[in-house]
Structure 1
């Protein structure tokens, strides 16, 4: 199996954050929130693919918790910056002997980026609760990210969408 097979078989399309995706589930159940619009689906889920020609999921943050599940391919490195500016790094993959984790929670309001550092592709799944809505996601802007995290800028600027 190669990246093109996966893109075609799973009907993936390009995502604005980078990589490819397809929504696979949107709950019929809803939950009331304090966000604009108030009501959100209880849970959503997607496939997400990074490839050697689209290896970066650029920094963004969500107003919901997101759980990432590794499926197949090469491991994916996650960079997470919490609201206080603490940077954490995780490797999503199956080789737990090398420190990989097959599942990763990214709490709401944390900035995150994902990078395929080697290999042709890495396929994962994501579940979002309350469910994902584009209005609840913010893509990092270079000037404000640099102002908020000046000590991290040199290391993280390659993963900010320009």
Structure 2
């Protein structure tokens, strides 16, 4: 929704949709790739013109809170290939945890015009800890690749 974009000062996100970082902890946490803020948080918005969040994974855990709109579907794939689909809806399930190293994509569902989500990443987000799925990912698991196809480039 254009109103949320304007009010929150959101910008285009490389995953799709729009975002803005709203918090960076002043405290740090050690990670295998160097110190990170203890936590970071963003607002993330999917809209009809940007209805899809591309498949990616992070080293850190991410907590998702549906703030407004929806429903929004998340698809996750664990390192062992377990696929799950979770739909966040206002008044029903509105919270999701995606552990580090789990692939994740998102999209609007049904007649949703938008979904505004708040995300908290712990330890905090750093692009060095983020990876988009590529053409070679899931090549050895054709059934999984087919299920994830809508979220792949």
Q: Which TM-score tier does this pair reach, normalised by the shorter chain?
A: over 0.9
Counterparts of 1:49-128 in structure 2 under 5 Å?
Answer: 49-96=45-92, 101-117=93-109, 118-128=111-121
- Count how many residue pairs are aligned between Structure 1 and Structure 2: 152
Distance 2:10 2:139 in 1: 35
**How many Å separate the matches in 2 of 1:15 and 1:133?**
14
1:18 is aligned to 16
TM-score (norm 2): 0.95
Q: Residues 33, 58 of structure 1: CA spacing in aligned structure 2 closer, same or farther, 3 A cutoff? A: same
2:146 — aligned with what? 154
**Aligned pair 1:46/2:42, yes or no?**
yes
Deviations 1:92-142 (A, max 9, x none): 12242xxxx211000000000001023210101000000000110000002
Structure 2: tracts of 5 or more residues without a match: none
- Using the TM superposition, name which of 52-61 and 111-120 deviates more: 111-120
Scaled by the length of structure 1, the TM-score of the pair is: 0.90
Instruction: Report if aligned partners of 2:71, 2:115 keep a CA contact under 8 Å in 1.
Output: yes
CA distance in 2, matches of 1:39, 1:148: 34
Unaligned 5+ segments in structure 1 are: none
Note the C-alpha offset of 1:54.
0.6
* Partners of 1:23 and 1:148 in 2: CA distance: 36
Instruction: Report if the CA contact (8 A) 2:70-2:90 is conserved.
Output: no
In structure 1, distance between residues paired with 2:35 and 2:138: 33
What's the RMSD between the two structures over aligned residues?
A: 1.0
Consecutive aligned runs of 4 or more in structure 1 exceeding 6 Å deviation: none
Q: Distance in 1 between matches of 2:2 and 2:107?
A: 19
